[in-house]
Amino acid sequence: MAKVKKAPRPKAQTPKGFRDYFGPEVTERAEMLEAIAGVYHRYGFDALESSAVETVEALGKFLPDVDRPNEGVFAWQDEDESWMALRYDLTAPLARVYAQHRNDLPLPYRRYAMGPVWRNEKPGPGRFRQFYQCDADTVGAASVAADAEICAMLADTLEVVGIPRGDYLVRVNNRKVLNGVLETMGLDDDAQRDAVLRTIDKFDKVGEAGVRELLGKGRLDASGAYIDGVGLSEAQAEPVVAFLTSKGSDTAATVANLRAAVGSSEIGAEGVSELEEIGALLASQGYGPDRIEIDPSVVRGLGYYTGPVFEAALTFEIFDEKGRKRQFGSVAGGGRYDDLVKRFTGQAVPATGVSIGVDRLLAALREKGRIGGTVQGPVVVTVMDRDRMADYQAMVAELRNAGIRAEVYLGNPKNFGNQLKYADKRSSPVAIIEGGDEKERGVLQIKDLILGAKLAESASLEEWKERPSQYEVARGDLVAKVREILNQWA
């Protein structure tokens, strides 16, 4: 009889493009989400938690650079043959929610949402297939006052989570202005217009000279490969260059330059007027160009947005993997998307919103040393006698009832040194010790593990004697003494 082969053991590894998050990272993210939610709530937005799964039909076209059906999302066919997918952002679900429940929701509807999203894209360094977003959107408000409010809220949010003024800039542009530029150029061919949009999107990378070459005959890229250009004449390309380089010394100068760039285009003039109004609204609230500025070089997602667009970039420098200095870059973006709900209702519904990339923002704060330190673990009650577990559980219950994070050591208590090693690995601030002798005398030994570690690093024998890290206290003083030690290191 043939020997039955054992099934191979599965490999203990995360799927490609995904990662695990442990205690301190989860805690840091939770604290950031709470801080962001506080700002959103203060601005009058209500929380919404929608399903992580949507129908592919409801999600519609997924990512701007993806054309094949279901590409870019994790999708599967349900038993009724309908296609389902994990959400790739928090905006598409909002459109579905609003269309489904619009008769029960206030208008405008102001909501914020937080959670993971999933994208079936090629992963890379720092680029994962699952990541967290924090969105806030206003549905049903056509006024650019809604866009200005989002920009102000974004600036406030960055400061609340630990990005000070001077380390960030919210930049604002308008899709209508670009439409006016394209109109001025007289481009009727859709393929050519799309090629111009793709070229504009490369402005940050190739600069003015590179854009001129790509709008014309083409250019050699960094690898030496030749990139074909759009084939425009210098005269045709000039409005695009004027648009991209129209940022002036202040808002008034930028607006004047943009008016010249759009020429006689009505839609372009409307876009410029909207930017002017946004600038005035922000200035009236005290948001100057040191925090929020009109910047025509912001061209994010111009095929998706219908009006104002905005992006929050961190302006401080970091070192990349090759040791080169560079700015950290974008951590949030958004804009006006008046056509998204129309897919469901057939009627145009104005909407504007912003999405913050939480993982990027956390990485920025770690880069600046503002988070990422050791997270304090629980107080550990050691076990000197396994037959007295009830006594130790009573101690830990007292600490927890007093609001102090605590646990009883639940491993093998035979080796007391291993218990202290465990407490050290948990970054515990305090260890509680009660042996048979302490029990008879009604006392406890309370060990200040933080002070003990500091003294072990540098203290002399005299300092050890002057600053003992272990205290004997009455059993009834357990909570008071632990709290005293914790307050000392808070």
DSSP 419-460: HHHHHHHTT-SEEEE--HHHHHHTEEEEEEHHHHHHHHHH--
Number of neighbours of residue 375 by Cβ within 10 angstroms: 15
How does DSSP classify residue 374? P
Segments in 202-250 forming alpha helices (H): 203-215, 234-244
- Please count the other Cβ atoms lying within 10 Å of the Cβ belonging to residue 409: 21
Q: pLDDT confidence of 61, banded at 50, 70, 90? A: low
Q: Is residue 48 helix, strand or coil?
A: coil
Identify whether the C-beta of residue 170 lies closer than 8 Å to the C-beta of residue 311: yes
Is 349 a domain residue? no
Classify residue 414: in a domain, yes or no: yes
Sheet bearing 308-319, strands edge to edge:
46-47, 109-118, 130-139, 351-357, 325-336, 308-319, 168-174, 292-294
The reported pLDDT for the residue numbered 419 is 94
Is residue 366 situated within a structural domain? no
Average of pLDDT values for 22-37?
Answer: 92
- 415 within a domain of the structure (yes/no): yes
CATH of the domain at 391: 3.40.50.800
Say yes or no to pLDDT of 104 above 90: yes
Q: Is the backbone peptide bond immediately before 108 cis, with ω within 30 degrees of 0?
A: yes
Asked whether residue 399 is assigned to any structural domain, the reply reads yes
The structure tokens 């922000």 sit at 282
Range of the domain at 386: 379-489
Predicted local distance difference test score (pLDDT) of residue 332: 93
4 pLDDT higher than 80: no
User: Does residue 107 lie within any of the structural domains?
Assistant: no
- Structural domains counted in the chain: 1
- Determine contact, residues 381/395, Cβ cutoff 8 Å: yes
User: Most confidently modeled of 146-150, 201-205, 327-331, 409-413?
Assistant: 146-150
Helix (H) and strand (E) counts in the chain: 18, 18
Model pTM score: 0.84
Q: Is residue 267 part of a domain?
A: no
Q: What is the pLDDT of residue 2?
A: 66
CA 313 and chain centroid, separation: 12
Q: The tokens of 59 are what?
A: 């999600």
Q: What amino acid occupies position 367?
A: E
Is the CB of residue 310 less than 8 Å from the CB of residue 150? yes
Q: Which of 435, 436, 447 is nearest to 478 (CA)?
A: 447
Does 181 map to a domain? no
| Predicted pLDDT at 68 | 47
Q: Please, is 76 exposed, middle or buried when counting C-beta atoms within 10 Å of its C-beta (0-12, 13-18, 19+)?
A: exposed
Give residue-wise pLDDT tens across range 329-371: 889 999 999 888 888 989 889 999 999 999 889 988 888 777 7
Helix (H, G, I), strand (E, B) or coil at 236: helix
Distances in Å between the Cα of 229 and the Cα atoms of 21, 194, 199, 218, 220 are 44, 12, 9, 4, 10
